[in-house]
Structure 1
């Protein structure tokens, strides 16, 4: 009986770090012009990606590799995040990674996407769908 309870407690304690073992990846949006910095993130399932929006008006909008500057139906979308030039605190938008397949994003404000304001999560460098290929596609009408 004691061993059974002890084993249950040990198993529960061993599982606790796995539940809380996540990394937060920070991405700065628009602090250096029309950029996401970094523009590529590698994240594990359960990790959090946080986007900090800087002055002007930007979005984080999910697209597909095939259509970089068009919103993906049902995809992640921060909505517009207007930030005053004099701001000293910045709004954030976060989401949890639920799978490790590549995720493609852009800023939907005006022509920001066509100007190169794109980023990706979990790009497979050995796939033909590289970040550089996505960057080229965003300029194609």
Structure 2
């Protein structure tokens, strides 16, 4: 479609409109259940991605929605994770390649759980401080 040109929408009969609205509501409900399973930890990202072959609703779900449903991943981390894995921000699960799925699963496996993020951040801070202080403390260690 060219920019600036509008396409005419097909007029729907009231029955077609009602059917379409009901189908959309059902899809939102099923997608909500899927995301709730991810949030609660009753299913893993790997299990959801494996379901993409059989379930259309999984194929049509945006990857960013799935990742944001995982504990400890907010919009910023999800955007960084997707960029690192070479996945476009508007990509749907059905459009993921095998390598992209593999990279996402590896990256999510390396991401600390929600409860562990403070401990991981503290460990990073301590190791960074040690690296910065090492040159300053080296002369003291040799003389002492």
What TM bracket, shorter-length normalisation? under 0.3
The structure with more radius of gyration: 2
TM-score under structure 1 length normalisation = 0.27
Relative contact order: is structure 1 or structure 2 higher (C-alpha 8 Å, sep ≥ 6)?
1
Higher strand fraction: Structure 1 or Structure 2? 1
Higher helix fraction: Structure 1 or Structure 2? 2
